[in-house]
Chains A and B, each alone.
Chain A
């Protein structure tokens, strides 16, 4: 790359001022900057900012695609408090999050610590754990639908080898939601493992070695050196997991459609059906607002936990 600083500025007057005057040069740079930014600003305004505001406004109306609609104040919210389908969906989603998040984070961290031990075949293991994550959830759900098949699926077939009685899995109210949770945990491991693995490689080697010289056991080193330095990454993984688990939809839509009864009904499925099958857009928007609040509450609790952890 030869920089020809001494060459006089070529007189090709495009939209850039040829003048060496830094003022006009700066102006040109500013103008170009705004021009480059405009598409992204426009796109995000139309497809993200306006919808976020709109969902708040819509939640106070009874809008349903027709031309006539009216303000209903907090009427939608009052109705939601009595809507058994919504309450069941909220409960299942919260339960799903509470079970799936800690278990998948713990397993992912354990696997990442294992993979961080200078082992052979790292590429193979990384690929194996990550493949479920790059695969479409619909495809995952289809495969597990077949695994959970009560008649000749893998789950009953495999457990049968150890003498377990066949289970009806997705068709049994007692096991339907836990069966979905297993798939959720299974699919979500890859991303978390890779993030943890990257973070583990950033843990100070000096600290670990001096702890080692001081006679700290492997467990003590993990608790006192590794764990504290994972703080920010833990929080990132936690937030993305919260947002991810509250969004669970594809899995439920393909595997159970919320059944049996409404035993696996989750929030996004309920929102989807209220909005696009019953055309109650205002109502579905109120539901969305509740979901936002619950997600925010979860993140808040996560933050408190993290603070308590680092203050120890």
Chain B
């Protein structure tokens, strides 16, 4: 809780209610203008999505009428529905993979009495700093030479490996070290006595992990899931690199292709498509706002 004294003391002696002081009003004005600057582009997107082709020839704010059929026609002019489904599939697959791998590793790092546990933790922390763009080129080559997939032989030659496949879209970018670290931070705060008691009850180590400890870090699981869904849904460069067929393209890629021919862009349709692409994440954020905020703060301050 912020101290009430803090804002009211700066400007000397005025004893009016704090909400009426000029400083306060200026603060609200600045914040509201700032918030508008953040929101107006989205509003502009929505307004445009209802306009007719004629109406976008000239600058104006409001559409003459709400043309809902723009959305229907946008969906028909490109395989948006399929892109949508693909993005959803990638997001769900990647999140499931991440949750399984990262909770297991996070738990082991936090609780297992293994030698070199500290250096293993440092290993994941260092990896967390490696940006994806650095490993772009070799990652492509590795994914291309996954053995026994996509026509490859046992040493990974001859075919395309995981290129243009769901495996390639989901696995390499899942299970980021960041999430292992995040999971570990939460497991570490659980008391060892819980595991000890379950051990005495004869529960297996894996059972302790799965049935005793993991249910207790549900907030962490939700945080990880929310961040991973967002990352997967918004991903662009990796799908751009490894997909060649329209069958597997996610939404962002479809959107980018849709906007690539400036002379022929039909802005109302494009904005309708963009609105449909952004809506799920905005809804997710509004519902999971607390998790987003806590997750960011946790990574930023503890990390």
Complex-state Cα separation, A201 to B6, whole angstroms:
12
Cβ B30 vs Cβ A250 within 8 A: no
Interface check A116, CB cutoff 8 A: yes
Given the known interface contacts A30-B113, A128-B39, the answer about A143 and B274 at a Cβ–Cβ threshold of 8 Å is yes
Cβ B180 vs Cβ A40 within 8 A: yes
Which residue of A154, A194, A236 is within 8 Å of B44 (Cβ)? A154
Given the known interface contacts A55-B137, A131-B42, A136-B281, the answer about A26 and B113 at a Cβ–Cβ threshold of 8 Å is yes
Given the known interface contacts A135-B282, A194-B297, the answer about A34 and B114 at a Cβ–Cβ threshold of 8 Å is yes
B-contact 0/1 string along A6-34, CB 8 Å cutoff: 01011110111010000001101111111
CB contacts (< 8 Å) of A271 on chain B: these are 133, 136-137
Which residue of A18, A152, A195, A209 is within 8 Å of B297 (Cβ)? A195
Which residue of B177, B194, B259, B296 is within 8 Å of A44 (Cβ)? B177
Which residue of B38, B255, B286 is within 8 Å of A186 (Cβ)? B38
Interface check B201, CB cutoff 8 A: yes
How many Å from the CB of B32 to the closest CB on chain A? 8
B-contact 0/1 string along A217-235, CB 8 Å cutoff: 1100000000000001100
Cβ A138 vs Cβ B255 within 8 A: yes
Cβ B31 vs Cβ A138 within 8 A: no
Chain A: which residue is nearest B109 at the CB level? A37
Interface check B119, CB cutoff 8 A: no
CB contacts (< 8 Å) of A48 on chain B: these are 127, 130, 135, 177
Cβ B2 vs Cβ A201 within 8 A: yes
Interface check A102, CB cutoff 8 A: no
CB contacts (< 8 Å) of A153 on chain B: these are 59
A-contact 0/1 string along B1-43, CB 8 Å cutoff: 0111111011000000001000000011011001101111110
Interface check B188, CB cutoff 8 A: no
State which of B69-77, B138-146, B217-225 sits at the interface with chain A.
Answer: B138-146
Interface check A117, CB cutoff 8 A: yes
Cβ B30 vs Cβ A117 within 8 A: no
CB contacts (< 8 Å) of B41 on chain A: these are 132, 140, 143-144, 147, 154, 186
CB contacts (< 8 Å) of B277 on chain A: these are 136, 138-139
Cβ A29 vs Cβ B134 within 8 A: no
CB contacts (< 8 Å) of A96 on chain B: these are none
How many Å from the CB of A22 to the closest CB on chain B? 11
Cβ A18 vs Cβ B301 within 8 A: no
Cβ A129 vs Cβ B45 within 8 A: no
CB contacts (< 8 Å) of B57 on chain A: these are 151-152
CB contacts (< 8 Å) of B59 on chain A: these are 152-154, 156-157, 160
CB contacts (< 8 Å) of B6 on chain A: these are 117-118, 208-209, 212
Chain A: which residue is nearest B37 at the CB level? A186
Taking chain B's interface residues, is the majority helix, strand, or loop, or is none over half, making it mixed? helix
Chain A: which residue is nearest B144 at the CB level? A65
Complex-state Cα separation, A125 to B31, whole angstroms:
8
CB contacts (< 8 Å) of A243 on chain B: these are 129, 131
Mark out the residues of chain B between 103 and 131 whose CB falls within 8 Å of any chain A CB in the assembled complex: 104-105, 107-109, 111-115, 120, 123-124, 127, 129-131
B-contact 0/1 string along A94-120, CB 8 Å cutoff: 000000000000000001001111111
Complex-state Cα separation, A242 to B142, whole angstroms:
27
Interface residues of A (CB under 8 A from B): 1, 3-5, 7, 9-12, 14-16, 18, 25-26, 28-37, 39-41, 43-44, 46-52, 54-55, 58, 111, 114-120, 123-132, 134-140, 142-147, 149, 151-154, 156-157, 160, 186, 189, 191, 194-195, 197-199, 201-202, 205, 208-209, 212, 217-218, 232-233, 236-237, 239, 243, 246-247, 249-250, 253-254, 268, 271-272, 275-276, 281, 284-285, 288, 291-292, 295
28 contacts between A and B (CB under 8 A): A5-B200, A33-B108, A33-B112, A33-B113, A33-B114, A36-B104, A36-B112, A37-B114, A40-B175, A43-B175, A47-B135, A47-B139, A48-B127, A118-B6, A127-B286, A131-B39, A131-B285, A134-B284, A138-B256, A139-B252, A139-B274, A142-B255, A142-B256, A143-B41, A146-B44, A146-B270, A233-B301, A247-B131
Taking A36-B104, A239-B129 as given, write out 7 further A-B residue pairs in contact, using a Cβ cutoff of 8 Å, ordered by the A residue number: A36-B105, A36-B209, A52-B130, A138-B252, A142-B255, A142-B271, A147-B44
